[in-house]
Amino acid sequence: MQVSAFRIFFQTGAWLVIAFLVLPILVVLPISFTDTSYIGLPKEALSLQHYANYFTDPDWLSATWTSVWVGLVVATCASALGTAFAIGCWFLSDRAAMVARWVLITPILVPPVVQSLGFYRFWVQLGLIDTHFGVILAHTLLALPYVSISVFAALSNLDRNLPRAARSLGASVMQTVWAVVVPAARPGIITGFIFAFIVSFDEIVGVLFITVRNVETLPKMIWEGIQDNIDPTIAAVATMLIVLTLVATAIGVLRRS
């Protein structure tokens, strides 16, 4: 087939759109090496001062650590709850289970500010404002839909006769779930865990509403940094996070191919 205008339009168009998607994110890279104390390209030489600043500032480090451990706790809780939920719904597969699945995904649809308002009022009553537990609870709720969707996606390929066979051979319900269904759901559980971690690690609006000074997460530090004074340390943090994302995506792509 000869190369038509049609084909050229879509192919170059696609690469232009991809450039629009990827290149703007990469601007933080040169900025992070700037030798100035404000946001801008390096003037005289490359400098690592903003990286040094990140690694010596107890506030940045502790916020990072908080985000990491909160994210891991959230991912663990959300994966356990969400996996059990999806497996139960998969077995039931009736109207009630369908309604339950719709209930569980509401956090995807409700605007972040609205749900954060709801959290704020309720967390005040429960005494959870500005506590790590309060943040973990809120993030677990926000992460649950992603776990349940990905586990469900993994289960959609599972033959319903397999658990039936296990049952007819004398396995109990829990044995069947554990030995037949969970292994089939494993790719979905792993995806769900990663999703849940990222949801928590990234979440900003809820944290702005339900924490004050006691709980400081990485997104909150970045948010405050952007609002008050634009400090190139944010570019250094952003660069490190982007490099981590790149590495993770590369591993993901390589593993699949």
Partner 1 sequence: MPRVNEKVSYWMLVLPALSIMVCFYILPVLGIWEIAFTEPKAGVGNFVKMAGSNAVRTSFVITFRVAAITTVGCLILGYIVAYAISNFASRLTPLMVALVILPFWVSVLIRSFSWIVLLGRSGLVNDALMHAELIERPLRLMHNELGVLIAMIHVMLPFAVLPMLTNMRGISGIYVQAARSLGASEWTSFRQVYFPQTLPGVLSGALLVFVLSLGFFVTPALLGGGRVLMISEYITYQIQEFLNWGLGSALSVALLVATALVLLISARFVNLRATLLERK
Residues within window 219-248 making contact with partner 1, judged by CB under 8 A: 219, 222-223, 226, 230, 234-235, 238, 241-242, 245-246, 248
By CB under 8 A, tell whether 113 contacts partner 1.
Answer: yes
Question: Apex CA 250: angle with CA 249 and CA 251, to 5°?
Answer: 90
- Check if the beta carbon of residue 205 is closer than 8 Å to that of residue 113: yes
Provide φ and ψ at 45, rounded to 5°: -150, 165
For residues 139-156, b (16+ Cβ closer than 10 Å) or e, as one string?
A: bbbbbbbbbbbbbbebbe
By CB under 8 A, tell whether 210 contacts partner 1.
Answer: no
Helix axis angle, 95-104 relative to 132-155, nearest 10°? 130
Using the structure block, give the residue that is written with the tokens 């995807």. Answer: 108
Judged by CB under 8 A, the stretch of 47-55, 56-64, 68-76, 134-142 that binds partner 1 is 134-142
Q: In terms of C-beta density within 10 A (0-12 exposed, 13-18 middle, 19 or more buried), how is residue 85 classed? A: buried
Binding string, 178-207, against partner 1, x = CB under 8 A?
--------------------x---x-xx--
By CB under 8 A, tell whether 165 contacts partner 1.
Answer: no
Q: State which of residues 48, 52, 110, 165 lies at the interface with partner 1 (CB under 8 A).
A: 110
Q: Is 208 helix (H, G, I), strand (E, B) or coil?
A: helix
- CB 55, min distance to partner 1, A: 19
- CB 116, min distance to partner 1, A: 9
Q: State which of residues 81, 129, 189, 236 lies at the interface with partner 1 (CB under 8 A).
A: 81
Please state, as a whole number, how many other Cβ atoms lie within 10 Å of the Cβ of residue 60: 21
By CB under 8 A, tell whether 22 contacts partner 1.
Answer: yes
Q: State which of residues 43, 44, 45, 103 lies at the interface with partner 1 (CB under 8 A).
A: 103
